[in-house]
Amino acid sequence: MEPVIETQGLKHVYIDADNNQVTALDGIGMQIQPGEFVAVIGANGSGKSTLARHFNALLLPTEGSVKVHGLDTLDENNLWRIRQDTGMVFQNPDNQIVAAIVEEDVAFGPENIGVPTEELKKRVEDALRAVDMLDYREHAPHLLSGGQKQRVAIAGTLALGSKCIVLDEPTAMLDPKGRKEILNTMKKLNREQHITVVYITHFMTEALLADRVIVMSKGKIEFQGTPKEVFSRVDELEKLGLEAPLAAKVAFELRKSGAKLPPGIITNEELAAALA
């Protein structure tokens, strides 16, 4: 099957305020397959947000290429197709809601691409139902919780017809309840509607639920694999400034002091079972 997102030798150089070149991405080659749930982790400044913006053609490669559903982001004719196919959800829940009424905001994307009124209404309703926000369709966004606002943002991408959603630290500003809401919503969309998910996060517990975890450092992919593979490499993660989940760390320390534990312990349940 054709990958949803494919990058080859992707390099991105920013020119900062003092005219210095900042290499934010340095040769990224990766593929994301349809229906995958991929988590991207990495320390601050490792290039996660820059990478995410390439998936939506908000940034264009300095070198190398990005293909979204087979379409090259460098070709301007592909721009609107790409932005429909890959939706973006950003970190700050307030700063991505455009309209003063929930359903008007969800309609913003499809309105931009000229979806006819009747279909638009259906899309908005379906999208709000999918994120469980239909009851709030006529509410003012500023009265919603952070988690609810982010779900409205997710609905906005669904209404646009996105088959792939890229979320850039969507839970960073939310409370634990909101975090759970967003993760559950994305798991459900991934499971039931086969939405491909690229989920950037600095919460390792969220990355545990992904099919694949990509670890970034200094603009490069450091290593990747299943959550089990990635989070078992406790010391390597630590060197990159990332903290493995507590269970993985405990198992790691126990093993170091000679305990015989099976490999791949990353959740509390697995740790408890191994110690029982």
Q: Cα angle vertex 243, ends 238, 245, to 5°?
A: 130
* Residues from 45 through 74 that contact ligand ADP (CB under 6 A): 45-50
171 lines the binding site for Mg ion (CB under 5 A): no
Q: Residue 24 or 207: which CB sits closer to ligand ADP?
A: 24
Instruction: Identify which range of 42-50, 67-75, 178-186, 229-237 contacts ligand ADP by CB under 6 A.
Output: 42-50
Q: Residue 95 or 184: which CB sits closer to another protein?
A: 95
Rounded-to-integer distance, Cα 78 and Cα 67, Å: 10
**What SS3 state is found at 211?**
coil
Sheet of 21-32, strand order: 21-32, 5-15, 63-68, 71-72
Answer with the entry of ligand ADP, Mg ion, another protein, none that 116 interacts with (C-beta below 5 to 8 A by kind): another protein
Length of the chain: 276
End-to-end CA distance of the chain: 43
DSSP at 209:
T
- Report CA torsion sign: 68, 73, 75, 78: positive
Out of 4, 6, 42, 49, name the contact with Mg ion by CB under 5 A. 49
24 lines the binding site for ligand ADP (CB under 6 A): yes
Q: Supply the minimum distance, in Å, between the C-beta of residue 111 and another protein.
A: 5
* Residues from 86 through 125 that contact another protein (CB under 8 A): 87-88, 90, 92, 94-101, 103-104, 107-117, 120-121, 124
CB atoms within 10 A of CB 178: 20
Single-letter amino acid code for the residue at 227: P
151 lines the binding site for ligand ADP (CB under 6 A): no
Q: Supply the minimum distance, in Å, between the C-beta of residue 92 and another protein.
A: 6
Q: Supply the minimum distance, in Å, between the C-beta of residue 46 and ligand ADP.
A: 4
71 lines the binding site for another protein (CB under 8 A): no
Rounded-to-integer distance, Cα 137 and Cα 126, Å: 11
14 lines the binding site for ligand ADP (CB under 6 A): yes
Instruction: Identify which range of 16-24, 28-36, 58-66, 184-192 contacts ligand ADP by CB under 6 A.
Output: 16-24
Report which of 181, 182, 177, 196 is spatially closest to residue 86, judged by C-alpha positions: 196
44 lines the binding site for ligand ADP (CB under 6 A): yes
Rounded-to-integer distance, Cα 233 and Cα 238, Å: 9
Residue with tokens 């905001």: 105
Contact letters (x/-) for another protein, 137-156, by CB under 8 A? ---xxx-------------x
Out of 13, 43, 58, 209, name the contact with another protein by CB under 8 A. 58
Answer with the entry of ligand ADP, another protein, Mg ion, none that 254 interacts with (C-beta below 5 to 8 A by kind): none
46 lines the binding site for Mg ion (CB under 5 A): no
Q: Residue 167 or 234: which CB sits closer to Mg ion?
A: 167
* Burial state string for 243-260 with b = 16 or more CB within 10 A and e = fewer than 16: ebbebbbbbbebeeeeee
Site for ligand ADP, rule CB under 6 A: 14, 16, 22, 24, 42, 44-50
